[in-house]
């Protein structure tokens, strides 16, 4: 350790309470334990299992997600493999207003050494279900664990949102937010494959939630039967890792972009009209936003619906981009607008970049 880091660590160690494994086990053995465990390890450390009941929250996402998972008055115990990360993280949480925070002395290593039990981060049934993913070297157990701990908000459950929701649920995403204020109409069914005839006149969020639960019963769903607007966008979006724009609506895209810029959340843009569609990733770290791509956004020109397969393909490309972001794999579409033409079965690409004078994310904003 450097002298500066060592000094900071020792200061944190003196102020952060440490709890012994035996004391923690005793507390957890109570009928209604008041303590909430937070596992700060990264996905490549999950092979050792976890302490039962722990929330899996990698240290790299702590500040972004902690307020959505627990309350400031909760009693928290943080742990990592050892104790360095948990002690420093406890100090950070204290500065954020969490005052009942302690760290497990010796971390999971000491917990295991003293013979206390762990449970698998991924159950045997879960691993069997996602066997093909796990066998991919680019995914593996670590990548699948990342997907299981991911939270994705889908704005719009129509022609684009349907394939996005179905494929992300099937891929093992742990939590999906479903947002739409509309109901299912008969004319929706040819392209909005998340819904079916029995769902007619039901809210799309209800119809979609039912379908997704039948596909993946342990999927955690958050349903928002309302429109996204400037008042609810940022507080909602800050609780998710990635946002998917499946609204095909200019006003909604502007709201998503503003909220994602302010919360530092990446979002996947998609649009489809007739036989053509486009997809890109916006607001990735150091990447361009929607207004970098469209300084003067065009008006909504769509007067007729898209070919159903065109909507399906664009939605699949959006879902694919979400998985790439979460797995940190491949060449992301940040700065690349992908154009699909169903008539020609052809993909093209337009490059664009972050603009210093962008009205949304530029240096002067």
96-99 LR contacts (CB < 8 Å, sep 24+):
96/63, 96/66, 96/67, 96/72, 97/72, 98/66, 98/70, 98/72, 98/74, 99/72
Over residues 272-284, the mean pLDDT reads 94
Question: Is there a single domain that holds both residue 203 and residue 275?
Answer: yes
Kindly report, residue by residue over 25-83, the tens digit of the pLDDT: 999 988 777 899 999 998 778 878 899 889 888 898 888 888 878 889 999 999 999 99
pLDDT at 98: 95
Q: Maximum CA pair distance of the chain?
A: 68
Q: Directed axis angle between helix 204-215 and helix 161-171, to 10°?
A: 30
CATH code (residue 222):
3.40.50.720
| Structure-block tokens of residue 159 | 């022609």
Do both 55 and 71 map to the same domain?
yes
72 and 195, same domain (yes or no): no
Do 62 and 195 lie in one domain? The reply is no
Structurally, the chain folds into a number of domains equal to 2
Span 127-147, average pLDDT: 87
Q: Are residues 88 and 183 located together in one domain of the fold? A: no
Number of other CB atoms surrounding residue 141 within 10 Å: 18
- On whether both 147 and 287 belong to a single domain, the answer is yes
Residue 280: which pLDDT band, with cuts at 50, 70 and 90? very high
Q: Which long-range contacts (CB under 8 A, 24 or more apart) does 346-353 make?
A: 352/288, 352/292, 352/293, 353/288, 353/292
358 in any annotated domain: no
Q: What is the pLDDT of residue 300?
A: 59
User: Of 60-64, 127-131, 154-158, which one has max mean pLDDT?
Assistant: 154-158
Same domain membership, residue 258 and residue 143? yes
Residue 296 in any domain: the answer is yes
If you average pLDDT over residues 150-179, what whole number do you get?
96
Return the beta strands (E) in the chain as ranges.
18-19, 35-39, 55-56, 75-79, 101-104, 151-155, 175-179, 220-224, 242-245, 267-273, 276-282, 336-341, 346-351
Q: What's the domain range around 45? A: 3-121
| Residue of 217, 233, 113, 124 whose CA lies nearest to 170 | 217
Q: Is the domain of 56 the same as that of 130?
A: no
Higher pLDDT, 314 or 135: 314
Choosing from 64, 95, 121, the residue where a domain stops is: 121
Is residue 151 one of the residues assigned to a domain? yes
Q: Is residue 232 part of a domain?
A: yes
Assess if residue 273 is contained within a domain.
Answer: yes
Beta strands in 96-155 (DSSP E): 101-104, 151-155
**Rounded mean pLDDT of the chain?**
91
What pLDDT sits at residue 365? 62
Q: Phi/psi of residue 220, each to 5°?
A: -90, 120
Cα separation, 320 vs 317, in Å, equals 5
Last residue of a domain, one of 75, 94, 121: 121
Of the residues 121, 148, 174, which one is the last residue of a structural domain? 121
Mean pLDDT of 185-209: 95
Whether 257 is in a domain gets the answer yes
Residue 322 predicted with pLDDT over 90? yes
Q: Among 138, 189, 143, 194, which residue's Cα sits nearest to residue 165? A: 194
Check whether residue 233 and residue 291 sit in a common domain. Answer: yes
Question: Is the pLDDT higher at 141 or at 107?
Answer: 107
Contact (Cβ atoms closer than 8 angstroms) between residue 157 and residue 180? yes
Same domain, 243 and 311: yes
pLDDT of residue 221: 95
Inside any domain, residue 364: no
pLDDT of residue 199 exceeding 60: yes
146 shares its domain with 113: no
CATH at residue 87: 3.40.250.10
The mean per-residue pLDDT over the stretch 97-109 comes to 95
Same-domain pairing of 177 and 283: yes
- Nearest CA among 359, 273, 266 for reference residue 310: 273
Question: What are residue 245's DSSP bridge partners?
Answer: 155, 269
Residue with tokens 């000094």: 7
Q: Which pTM value belongs to this model?
A: 0.78
338 within domain boundaries: yes
């Amino acid at each position: 350790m450097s002298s500066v880091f060592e000094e900071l660590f020792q200061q944190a160690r003196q102020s952060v309470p440490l709890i012994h494994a035996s004391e923690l086990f005793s507390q957890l053995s109570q009928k209604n334990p008041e303590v909430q465990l937070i596992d700060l390890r990264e996905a490549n450390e999950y092979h050792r299992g976890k302490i039962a009941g722990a929330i899996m929250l990698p240290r790299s996402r702590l500040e972004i997600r902690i307020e959505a998972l627990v309350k400031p008055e909760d009693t928290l115990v943080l742990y990592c493999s050892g104790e360095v990360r948990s002690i420093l993280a406890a100090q950070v949480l204290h500065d954020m207003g969490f005052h009942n925070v302690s760290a497990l002395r010796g971390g999971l290593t000491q917990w295991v050494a003293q013979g206390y039990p762990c449970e698998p981060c991924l159950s045997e049934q879960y691993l069997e279900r996602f066997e093909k993913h796990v066998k991919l070297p680019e995914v593996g157990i670590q990548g699948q664990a990342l997907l299981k701990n991911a939270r994705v908000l889908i704005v719009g459950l129509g022609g684009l949102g349907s394939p996005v929701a179905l494929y992300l649920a099937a891929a093992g995403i742990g939590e999906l937010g479903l947002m739409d204020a509309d109901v299912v109409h008969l004319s929706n069914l040819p392209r909005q494959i998340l819904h079916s005839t029995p769902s007619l006149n039901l809210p799309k969020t209800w119809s979609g939630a039912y379908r997704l639960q039948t596909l993946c019963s342990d999927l955690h769903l958050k349903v928002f039967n309302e429109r996204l607007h400037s008042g609810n966008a940022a507080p909602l979006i800050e609780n998710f890792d990635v946002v998917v724009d499946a609204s095909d609506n200019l006003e909604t895209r502007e709201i998503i972009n503003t909220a994602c810029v302010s919360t530092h959340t990446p979002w996947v843009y998609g649009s489809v009209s007739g036989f053509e569609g486009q997809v890109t990733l916006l607001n990735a770290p150091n990447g361009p936003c929607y207004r970098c791509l469209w300084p003067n956004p065009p008006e909504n020109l769509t007067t007729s619906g898209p070919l159903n397969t065109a909507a399906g393909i664009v939605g699949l490309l959006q879902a694919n981009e979400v998985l790439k972001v979460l797995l940190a794999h491949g060449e992301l579409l940040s700065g690349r607008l992908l154009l699909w033409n169903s008539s020609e079965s052809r993909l093209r690409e337009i490059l664009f970049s972050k603009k210093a004078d962008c009205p949304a994310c530029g240096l002067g904003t």
